Amino acid sequence: MKKSVITILLLVASIGGFLIFFNPKTVSNPTQNNSDALNTPQKWESKVDDQASVTVTVTPSDLRAESGEWKFDIVMSTHSVELDQDMTKVAVLVADSDKEYRPIRWEGTPAGGHHREGVLIFASVAPYPQDLKLNIKEIGGVQRSLSWILVE
């Protein structure tokens, strides 16, 4: 009886410790300049495109005007399509609805499989645009377009 009570208490304490230490938290970026229009949280929100049995989630991780590189965290997941695209060839960043920029590199899971994630990196855009759109083609045979307003 004592062993089962101790075992249950240890199990509850372990689960509680896991929930406390591994609880996802909102991350703020204290390095941003307060006068910069980038401070509003919705500017950095994740966008999700769920088409053709593939879910693509994109979160800008660095779009500061003073950054040399702009980074987008990308997670792709499917159970029916092979994710074998070269991300530097299927993605393009469109600034202010007309200027297109190609990625300079992909740092992440190599092509293949059903789950991929990584960072798609572009050279920063100058002058600083009002809006951005990330177009990704050929994943599941469809065009995906995710957009953010940077300056209101």
Grouped pLDDT means (10 residues each) for the chain, 152 residues: 67 58 48 41 77 95 92 95 94 94 96 94 94 94 93 71
pLDDT value of position 150: 86
Task: Give 136's Cβ-side CA count (13 Å radius).
Answer: 27
Contacts of 24 (CB under 8 A, 6+ apart): none
pLDDT value of position 125: 93
In the chain, what is the straight-line distance between the N-terminal and C-terminal CA atoms, in Å? 65
pLDDT value of position 30: 41
Round to whole Å and give the CA distance between 48 and 2.
50
pLDDT value of position 28: 43
* Contact (Cβ atoms closer than 8 angstroms) between residue 92 and residue 100: yes
Round to whole Å and give the CA distance between 109 and 75.
10
Q: pTM score, two decimals? A: 0.70
Q: Go through 82-120 and write b for each residue having 16 or more CB atoms within 10 A of its CB, e for each that does not.
A: ebebebeeebebbbeeeeebebeebeebeeeeeebebbb
Secondary structure class of 112 (helix, strand, coil):
coil
pLDDT value of position 39: 41
pLDDT value of position 8: 66
